[in-house]
Amino acid sequence: MKARSGMVAAVVAGGLALTACGVSTTYTTSGLQDDTKHITAKYKTKTHQVTDYQRQCQTKWKTVTKSSGIGKNKRTSTERQSYQDRKNIRIGSHPEQYKVKVRSEKFCVELDRVKNDDDKYENDVWFTVSRSVYLDAVKRNEGDKVKKLEYSTRGC
């Protein structure tokens, strides 16, 4: 019996975790088609400074000491070797523009004769729906019966 209650708790906790992580829940309703609305996404242009660098190469010299032999026969010689020293040098900055989303895109459908919790009918009720449901609703005429309208939130 304890194992079963533990499994039920795990399933309930898993369900709560899914809704908390942003998995959207859809609801269904029915009514008469009234109107549709498409709200486009809104973007704001922002500016920030970008630093400009230029790679500069310069030939430099280093002294290398070489030894050979053992004891009294040990010989030491030095020679200069060249190498390329590369570094980025800041040469200025320039403004750069980018876009930030201020408002997400929404698709809404308005229905008449929607049954509420008190078994009464409401008119002019807006629902936020998916793009595919919106495209189906646009094809319908005003006053057509909608049996199952899947929506994510009530209101638009």
Report pLDDT digits (tens) over 65-111: 888 888 778 888 888 988 888 888 899 999 999 999 999 999 999 99
122 token code pair = 């409401």
Structural domain boundaries in the chain = 23-40+105-154, 46-98
Radius of gyration of the chain (CA): 35
pLDDT of residue 46: 96
Q: How far apart are CA 97 and CA 91, in angstroms?
A: 20
Report which of 90, 98, 105, 156 is spatially closest to residue 127, judged by C-alpha positions.
156
- Which of 10-19, 64-73, 112-121 is the least confident region? 10-19
Q: How far apart are CA 109 and CA 50, in angstroms?
A: 44
More confident residue, 23 or 41: 41
**Which amino acid, one-letter code, is at 101?**
K
Q: Percent of the chain, pLDDT > 90? A: 38
Is 113 within 8 Å of 123 (Cβ atoms)?
A: yes
pLDDT of residue 58: 86
Q: What is the mean pLDDT of residues 27-49?
A: 93
Q: Work out the mean pLDDT of the chain and round it to a whole number.
A: 83
pLDDT higher than threshold 70 for residue 12: no
pLDDT of residue 143: 87
